[in-house]
Structure 1
Amino acid sequence: MNATRLADLIEDAMGGQDNLESLTHCATRVRLIPRNLDLVRFDALRSIPLVIDTRLVAGQVQVVLGPDRAQAVAAAMRRHRGTADTVVPRGRRHHPTRALVLLVDVFTPLLPVFVAGGLLMALHNLLASPDIVGEMPIVHAAPWLDGFTSLVGLLGYAVFALLPVLLGFAATERFGGSPHLGAAMGAALVAAPLFSDAGSPAAHFAPSPAWMIGDLNVFGVDYRNTVIPMIAIAFVLARVERVLKRRLHGSVQLLLVPTVTLLATGLIAFLVLGPALRVLGAVAAHVMQWLYVSAGPAGGAMIGAAYSPLVVTGLHQGLLAIELGLIATGGSFIFPIAATANIAQAAATFAVWACSPRGSHLRSLAATTAAPAALGIAEPAMFGVTLRLRAPFAIAVGATAVAAALLATFQVEAVTLGAAGLFGFASIAAGKVGPFIVCQAVAAGLSFGGTWAWSRWWSQPESEPGADGSARDAGATTISSPVSGVMVDVETLADAAFAASALGPTVAVAPQESRIVAPAQGIVTVVSRTGHAYGITMPDGTEVLVHVGIDTVRMNGVGFLPLTRVGARVSVGDPLVDVDVDAVVSAGLDPVVLTIVTNVDSGALLPRRRGGSVRAGDLILSPPPPPPRRRGAGRGPRRRPRSPRLINRLTTRREVANFA
Structure 2
Amino acid sequence: MAKVDYAAMAPDLLKRIGGEANVSALSHCATRMRFVLRDASKADTAAIKDMTGVVTVVQAGGQYQVVVGNDVPLLFGQMQALLPGLGSEGSDGGKGGSARPLNPLDAFIGLVSAIFSPVVWTLAATGLFKAFLAMFATFNWIDQASDTYTVLNAASDAFMYFLPLVLAVTAARHFKANQFTAMAIGGALVYPSIVAMNDGGSHAFLGIPLVIMSYTSSVLPIIVAVWVQSHVERACDRLFPGALRNFMTPWASVLVMVPLTLLTIGPLTTTIADGIASGVQWLFIHVPLLGGIVIGGFWQVFVMFGLHWGLVPIMTQEITTNGYSLIYGPIEAAVLAQAAAGLAVMLRTRDAKVRELAGPASLSGFLAGVTEPIIYGINLPRKLPFYFGILGGAVGGAIGAIAGGRVSQAGVFPSLIAIPAYLETPRLLLWAIGVIVGVAIAFTLTFMFGVKDDVAAGPGERAGGPAGPDATTGASAVADAEPTRALVAPVDGSAVPLERVKDPVFSSGALGNGVGIVPASGRLCAPAAGTVVTAMETGHAFGIRTDDGVEILIHVGIDTVNLKGAGFTPRVAVGDRVIAGDPLVDVDLEAVRAAGYDTTTIVVVTSTAGLSAVVPIVDGDARAGETIIEIDH
Into which bin does the TM-score normalised by the smaller protein fall? Answer: 0.3 to 0.5
Please give the TM-score of this superposition, normalised by the length of structure 2: 0.48
Please give the TM-score of this superposition, normalised by the length of structure 1: 0.46
The higher-RCO structure (CA 8 Å, 6+ apart) is 2
